[in-house]
Amino acid sequence: MTETRQGKILIVDDNEDLLKAAKMHLKRHFAQVDIEKNPESIPTLMANEDYDVILLDMNFTKDVSSGSEGYYWLQKILDIDPSSVVVLITAYGDVQMAVKAIKAGATDFVLKPWENEKLLATLFSSMRLRESRDQVETLKIKNQEINHVINEKFSDIIGQSQAMQKIFQTIERVAQTDANVLILGENGTGKEMIARAIHRNSARKSESFVAVDLGSVTETLFETELFGHKKGAFTDAKEDRVGRFELANGGTLFLDEIGNLSMPLQAKLLTVLQNRKVSRVGANKELPIDIRLICATNMPLYDMVKENKFRQDLLYRVNTIEIEIPPLRERPEDIPPLAHFFLKSYASKYEKNISKISDAAIARMNKHSWPGNIRELQHAIERAVIMSSSHVLQPEDFNLNVSNVKENEPGLNLDAYNLEEVEKLLIRKVLKKYNGNITQAATELGLTRSSLYRRLEKHGL
């Protein structure tokens, strides 16, 4: 099979024999090799072609050995295209000249006469650098486009209720700080969306937002997941792994379901947060970290502190600012706009000509308790769109209970139970609905199978 040649190379040197020899050798390895004696032609050549690598002589006839003419043209090339990859060549190489060339923006430095294999290795390495720069630039452009689309501060969070407006105001106040934030709320209320809104409105918005579901991280994998590991640190550590703290360095780390951590894991997390350093499993070196920490949970942390199930010092560390998201049943004025948002999304996804939800259907939604909150509403709209044969969604398109508590059935009266008991009752109710099918129950509850299993164990179900 013939190897596909890729890459465009430009060689600029005043030695015609060198140019011809270089082209003869390199054209077997690259798709295009252009040669040029006169550096004055560089701007025109660059205007007509997008070169992956430019091989540039440092010494032309006007300036035999100082390299200053090469530096001049290096700067010209970088002025035209700052992402250009330039490899300088000279017969008068020394360490000082190499260092100066690299500082001036060159990618690499080769000496004449070169060894063909070394020259090839240098060019291939430089071409990979150009590809990486192009990918980074593409990502930047995509991010700019995404940021333009979501330019409104809270464009992806729908909430016109007074409670949600207060949350928006809190986000605006705290986003520009580096204060740790604890987000409280039931399952499905949108805690991660609030965390992302804080990040998007912060000074770290151009850096990474790394989310970790602590509810799905096992005890044995906690350290390697969050702190990383070195190759050979344990049996299955076949290569180095970067932990989530390192990935989030400079940006925001979002730890969801922090209330699920055992006391020993809480201690390990607290140590890292206090020292602002992480050490990969199997490594002796500590790495400094610079993150903005946002945590979330649906569990009653203050009650857990009293019961010695959550460390008080960790709670104080993570809750400089608290944001509590009210459940959907406490802000019914947000149900219609959310419902219409999901309708538009799923009607487009499933190519259904449905443009409206009837007033009767909205009224029925307002009577529902929404134990799964926005996530449950989202699933309800999706199901209704799939099943409906009309242009308008009607009450019968929704499989909803209109009362909060049914007679002779364990219900979800939040005045009578704390959140732990509500969660237990809800899980029991959904499991009964699906005859113990874990997959179906987890889907309705908006949980992963592993998260549901942990809750079953916690509640003794």
Helix (H) or strand (E) holding 147: helix 116-149
Q: Which has the higher per-residue pLDDT, 436 or 87?
A: 87
Q: Answer yes or no: are the C-beta atoms of 41 and 23 closer than 8 Å.
A: no
Return the CATH number of the domain spanning residue range 328-459.
1.10.8.60
Provide the CA 201 distance to its chain's centre, in angstroms.
15
Domains 8-140 and 328-459 in one fold: no
| Cα separation, 172 vs 342, whole angstroms | 26
- DSSP H helical segments within 184-239, as ranges? 191-200, 222-227
Quickly name the fold that domain 162-324 has: Rossmann fold (3.40.50)
CA separation, residue 422 to residues 37, 186, 414, 416 (Å): 79, 10, 7, 9
Mean pLDDT of 228-238: 79
- Under the banding of pLDDT at 50, 70 and 90, the label for residue 81 is confident
pLDDT at residue number 95: 59
pLDDT at residue number 419: 58
pLDDT digits (tens, 9 = 90+) for 48-79: 888 989 998 887 765 555 667 778 888 899 88
- Read off the tokens for 268: 């390990």
Mean pLDDT of 119-127: 87
CA separation, residue 239 to residues 210, 229, 235, 444 (Å): 21, 8, 11, 38
Decide yes or no: CATH 3.20.20.80 for domain 8-140: no
Q: Answer yes or no: are the C-beta atoms of 210 and 252 closer than 8 Å.
A: yes
pLDDT digits (tens, 9 = 90+) for 145-197: 445 444 445 556 888 899 999 999 999 999 999 999 999 999 999 999 999 99
Mean pLDDT of 206-225: 90
Mean pLDDT of 336-349: 93
Mean pLDDT of 244-268: 94
In this structure, what is the dihedral angle of CA atoms 9, 10, 13, 15, given to the nearest 10 degrees? 60
Least confident stretch, 23-27, 250-254, 370-374, 414-418: 414-418
pLDDT digits (tens, 9 = 90+) for 271-328: 999 999 998 888 888 889 999 999 999 999 999 999 999 999 999 999 999 999 999 9
- Read off the tokens for 95: 């360490």
- Under the banding of pLDDT at 50, 70 and 90, the label for residue 3 is low
Q: Answer yes or no: are the C-beta atoms of 27 and 4 closer than 8 Å.
A: no
pLDDT at residue number 232: 78
Whether the predicted pLDDT of 451 surpasses 80: no
Task: Please state the φ and ψ torsions of residue 118, each to the nearest 5 degrees.
Answer: -65, -40
pLDDT digits (tens, 9 = 90+) for 374-423: 999 999 999 999 999 889 999 989 987 644 433 334 444 444 445 566 67
pLDDT at residue number 239: 79
pLDDT at residue number 374: 94
Whether the predicted pLDDT of 4 surpasses 80: no
Domain boundaries, the chain: 8-140, 162-324, 328-459
What is the rounded radius of gyration, in angstroms, for the C-alpha atoms of the chain?
Answer: 30
Q: Average model confidence (pLDDT) for the chain?
A: 84
pTM over 0.85: no
Least confident stretch, 199-213, 222-236, 257-271, 340-354: 222-236
Whether the predicted pLDDT of 199 surpasses 70: yes
Q: Answer yes or no: are the C-beta atoms of 298 and 287 closer than 8 Å.
A: no
